[in-house]
Amino acid sequence: MKQATASPPFEWLSRAKLLSAAETLVIGTAGGLVFLLAGLPGGLISGSMIAVGIAAIAGRQLSLPPLLTQTVLVLLGISLGSVVSRHLLQQVGAYPLTIGLLALATFCSTFGSSYYLQRVHGWDRTSAFLAGSPGALSQITILAVERGADLPGIAVVQTMRVIILTAALPMVLALAGVAPSAAPSLTTTIASPLDLVELVAASLGMALLLRLIRFPASWMFGAMIASSVLHGAGWVEGGL
C-alpha cells in the first residue's frame, strides 16, 4: 500500500502561473491608475479590482501567488496600525459620548443594511454582513475572499456606498450652509530600519499566531494588532 506524501510548503511557480501573475498585475495596475487619475474614490483598489474582474469575465486566467497576497496583507496591516499613537489613545478617552453614539450608529447601519439585504434580496448572512459593514473596501474585500462570500456583490455595494457618500456629502453640506473645514495636513514619518525590522517581525509573529487559531484575515489583522501595540506604546515611531 502506498503512503500519502505531504505536499511541500513551497513550490516554484510554473511558467504559466508566472505569466498569469504578471498579466494580473499589469491589468490591475492599469485599472487602478485609470481610476486614480479620474479622481474616483478608492481609485487604486476599486479600479484594479474592476479591471481584473472584467478581464476574468472575458476569459483570461488570472491569479496571484499566495506568497505575494500574504505579503501585501501584512504590509496593509502594518500601515493600518501605524496610525495609532499615544496622543490618539489619550484623545479617545476625552469623547466618551461621541464615541458611544458613533458605535451605536455603526451597529444600526451595519445590521440594518445586513437585514435588508437578507430579507429583501435573499443574500446569505455572511455576504450581507460584509456588504453592510462600513469598513474600508480593502479590508472588506480580504474578509470576503477568506470567508468565501459573494465578492462581486459585496464589491458593488461597498463601491456604490463610497461613491454616494463622496458625491452626496459635499452637496448636503452646501445646502445646509455648513462649510467643511480644511483637512489637517498629515506628516508621514518613515520608521527607521531597526523599527521596520521590529514591525515586520512582530507583525509576522502575531499573524502566524492568529493563523494557528484560525482567526479570519489573520495576515492583515495580526500585522495590524502588532503594529498598533508597538506604535501605541511608543516603542516604534513612523510607518512604511
Structural domain includes residue 88: no
| pLDDT of 118 | 92
Q: Same domain for 123 and 164?
A: yes
Query: Which of the residue ranges 56-65, 143-152, 161-170, 208-217 would you say has the lowest mean pLDDT?
Result: 161-170
Whether residue 109 is predicted with pLDDT greater than 90 in this model: the reply is no
Identify which has the larger pLDDT, 173 or 33: 33
- Hey, is 239 helix, strand or coil? strand
**Helix ranges restricted to H, 15-95:** 15-37, 43-57, 66-81, 86-92
Predicted confidence band at 170 (pLDDT cuts at 50, 70, 90)? low
**Would you say residue 173 has pLDDT above 80?**
no
- 166 part of a folded domain: yes
The model's confidence at residue 237, banded by pLDDT at 50, 70 and 90, is confident
Is there a domain that residue 8 lies in? no
Mean pLDDT over the full length of the chain: 80
Distances (CA, A) of 225 to 11, 83, 99, 133, 213: 30, 12, 20, 20, 15
Report the range of poorest mean pLDDT among 100-104, 128-132, 183-187, 190-194: 183-187
pLDDT at position 82 is 87
155 lies in some domain: yes
Residue 39 domain boundaries: 14-64
Q: What is the pTM of this model?
A: 0.63
* Pair 37, 60 in one domain: yes
- According to DSSP, the residues that pair with 190 across neighbouring strands are 239
- Rounded-to-integer distance, Cα 163 and Cα 168, Å: 8
* Residue 155 shares a structural domain with residue 217: no
pLDDT at position 30 is 95
pLDDT of residue 65: 85
Q: What's the pLDDT band for 119 if we cut at 50, 70, 90? A: very high
Extract the C-alpha cell encoding 213.
Answer: 487559531
Residue 186 placed within a domain = no
- Return the closest-CA partner of residue 155 out of 77, 72, 47, 68: 47
Give the model's pLDDT for residue 218: 83
What is the structure's pLDDT at 3? 45
Question: Would the pLDDT of 188 be above 70?
Answer: no
Tell me what pLDDT residue 33 has. Answer: 93
- The number of domains in the chain is 3
- The reply to whether 120 falls in a domain is yes
Please state, in angstroms and rounded to a whole number, the distance separating the CA atoms of residues 183 and 175.
Answer: 20
Quote the distance between the C-alpha of residue 110 and its chain's center: 17
- Give the end of a domain, one of 178, 203, 221: 178
Give the pLDDT score at 201.
94
Most confident of 55-69, 133-147, 163-177: 55-69
Q: What percent of the chain has pLDDT over 70?
A: 83
